[in-house]
């Protein structure tokens, strides 16, 4: 990670590692924390709840999987940040539940940078209108963008999608929308985190690269 940051003239401290722990049991998550991991990404509310109850809140827990609106109330109790907000309905529900809980939830807007029908995320042209609307909600705080590009064997092929996210970020910054801080670009996984860092990632989400292959299906 540090090498990729330096290659692109960035400060290594500007990029943080998230350990992605779907299917990884509490004991191994504990080992990762003992080794220095301080940010965990989970994909499913129930699975995260079990681990958070066992491990506690001494580290940051982020929701990176698709979040159904009816699970927002649990997400607000469990997570420090939600990376996967892609609709105004979900933003509103997180806002309402955060208000009930007396907190402000940091969120990232998930962008479907490859325009894939099977992937969640707002399409790039809908991101700005979504942010303008969500920025009016007082109990969520927009902190950046997240994407998961199409899968390629060659990580270089993912580069244009990461660049698209960075350019979109710069465009939104230029709009100077009140209460919107575009400080995070959550992009890059085990196979392509180096390229993502070269293109501006501030959080890379690494699962298999830390814990090995997941059991299939
Ligand atoms: C599983 C997952 C990751 C991590 O993928 P690896 O290939 O295991 O590094 C990152 N982001 C999201 C949204 C995921 O679901």
For residue 111, the CA-to-ligand 1 centroid distance in Å is 15
For residue 73, the CA-to-ligand 1 centroid distance in Å is 24
Closest ligand 1 atom, residue 43 Cα: 15
Binned at pLDDT 50, 70 and 90, residue 216 comes out as confident
On the 0-12 / 13-18 / 19+ scale of CB atoms within 10 A, 41 is: buried
Residue 111 Cβ contacting ligand 1 at under 6 Å: no
Binned at pLDDT 50, 70 and 90, residue 57 comes out as confident
Distance CA 202, CA 17 (A): 9
| CA dist 24 → 27, 128, 129, 174, 207 (Å) | 8, 35, 37, 40, 9
Domains of the chain (ranges; CATH) run 2-103+115-211 (3.20.20.10)
Token pair, residue 108, equals 């990232």
For residue 100, the CA-to-ligand 1 centroid distance in Å is 31
Residue 24 Cβ contacting ligand 1 at under 6 Å: no
* Secondary structure percentages of the chain, helix, strand, coil, to 5: 45, 20, 35
Averaged pLDDT score across all residues of the chain: 97
211 has pLDDT over 90: yes
Per residue in 73-84, pLDDT tens? 999 999 999 999
Per residue in 108-138, pLDDT tens? 999 999 999 999 999 999 999 999 999 999 9
For residue 43, the CA-to-ligand 1 centroid distance in Å is 9
Residue 30 Cβ contacting ligand 1 at under 6 Å: no
Per residue in 19-36, pLDDT tens? 999 999 999 999 999 999
Question: What pLDDT does 55 receive?
Answer: 95
Residue 210 Cβ contacting ligand 1 at under 6 Å: no
Question: What pLDDT does 73 receive?
Answer: 97
Averaged pLDDT for residues 172-187: 98
For residue 20, the CA-to-ligand 1 centroid distance in Å is 6
Percent of the chain with pLDDT over 90: 97
Q: Which of 28, 62, 64, 108 to mutate to test the pocket of ligand 1 (most atoms within 8 A of CB)?
A: 64
Question: What pLDDT does 126 receive?
Answer: 97
Question: What pLDDT does 217 receive?
Answer: 65
DSSP per position, 22-64: TT--HHHHHHHHHTT--EEEES-HHHHHHHHHHH-SSSEEEE-
């Amino acid at each position: 990670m540090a090498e990729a940051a330096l290659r692109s003239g960035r400060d290594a401290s500007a990029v943080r590692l998230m350990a992605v722990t779907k299917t990884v049991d509490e004991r191994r998550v504990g080992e990762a924390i003992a080794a220095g991991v301080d940010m965990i990404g989970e994909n499913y509310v129930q699975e995260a709840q079990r681990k958070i109850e066992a491990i506690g809140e001494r580290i940051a827990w982020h929701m990176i999987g698709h979040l159904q609106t009816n699970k927002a109330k649990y997400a607000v109790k469990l997570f420090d940040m939600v990376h996967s907000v892609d609709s105004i309905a979900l933003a509103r529900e997180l806002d309402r539940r955060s208000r009930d809980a007396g907190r402000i939830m940091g969120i990232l807007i998930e962008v479907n940078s490859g325009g894939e029908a099977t992937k969640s995320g707002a399409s790039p042209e809908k991101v700005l209108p979504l942010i303008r609307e969500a920025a009016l909600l007082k109990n969520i705080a927009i902190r950046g963008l997240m994407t998961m590009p199409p899968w390629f064997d060659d990580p270089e092929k993912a580069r244009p999608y990461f660049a698209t996210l960075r350019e979109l970020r710069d465009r939104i910054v230029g709009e100077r929308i009140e209460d919107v801080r575009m400080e995070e670009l959550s992009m890059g996984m085990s196979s392509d985190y180096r390229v993502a860092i070269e293109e501006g990632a501030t959080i890379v989400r690494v699962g298999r690269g830390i814990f090995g292959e997941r059991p299939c299906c």
